[in-house]
Every structure is written in structure tokens, then in C-alpha cells.
Amino acid sequence: MGAVFFYHLTQRSLAETLRMLLEKSLANDWRVVVRGTEESGLRALDNALWLGPEDAFLPHAMAGGDHDSDQPVLLTTDLALTKEAHCVMSVAGAEVTATEVEAMERVCIIFDGNDDRALNRARGQWKSLKDAGVRAQYWSENSGRWEKKAET
């Protein structure tokens, strides 16, 4: 039975936070799907992840290639590409269901706390997943470091 972790960005960029979470996931030998809502946003994220520190290679690819099933991290807008994943990371308000959370080791919902639309979307996701009985944690970086602020 999985859990969903909400990450409320206020200081770090999405790419920086995603890199940290992906490195931890890969250290657990998890295959990860990063799900977004628009391919253009995922392409920008893909480029940002490739531009990370040289000593911190992060293997990943955009979905649609010949070797998608071999990728440790796959960026996609496709809801169906989670069959072999251990973890889904939702960005830009991408859909996450309670059934999906239950099937994963972990689901992460990463949202920009400086964007009212993103904040309201995350609040709605928190409520619907909590109401469905999903275990959830809310993490904030307001203090300058990540702190768990709530848990169900």
C-alpha cells in the first residue's frame, strides 16, 4: 500500500526538487514516471534535468522512444505508462488517482506554492485523496529546508 507525498515549492525550482527526489528514488531501485500535463513543459524539464551537475548523472528520457520500458525515469503525459513504475511524480497538476497511489511504492505531487492555480489544484488533490482513504504527507520548504507539516 503506497502513500502520496505533497511537495510545496516556495524556494527551490521544480527541476532542483525533482532531481533530489529522483536521485532518492533511483537509490531505492525504483522505476519512476514523471507525469505532466503538457509535452512542452516536460521537454523543458527534460532539458533542465540534463543540465544538472556533471557528477550527478540522472538517467531519464521522454516517453515515445524505442526503449521506454528500459528507462529508469520516464517523462510523459500518458496516464497508462505506469505499469512497470514503482513511483509516479506528478507535476503541473497532472492527475493522480487513489487506486494508483495504492499500487505504487510512492506518489509525489510537486506543486508551485507561488502559483494560486497550482496551489488550489494541490489542495483539491489532497482533499480527494484523503477522502478516498489514501495515506498522505504534506512537505513544505518555507523554513529553507524540507519539513513534514501534515500527515493522514
Domain boundaries of the chain, sorted by first residue: 4-151
Confidence tier at 84 by pLDDT (50, 70, 90): confident
pLDDT beyond 80 at 40: yes
Angle at 33 between CA 63 and CA 102, to 5 degrees: 140
Check residue 1 and give its pLDDT. Answer: 65
Check residue 130 and give its pLDDT. Answer: 96
Query: Which CATH architecture is the domain 4-151 placed in?
Result: 3-Layer(aba) Sandwich (3.40)
Check residue 148 and give its pLDDT. Answer: 96
Higher pLDDT, 148 or 52: 148
Check residue 54 and give its pLDDT. Answer: 74
Confidence tier at 143 by pLDDT (50, 70, 90): confident
Check residue 23 and give its pLDDT. Answer: 94
Q: What is the mean pLDDT of residues 66-80?
A: 91
Edge-first strand order for the sheet with 73-76 is 61-62, 73-76, 32-35, 87-90, 106-112, 4-9, 136-140, 147-151
Quote the mean pLDDT of the chain.
93
Q: What is the mean pLDDT of residues 62-90?
A: 91
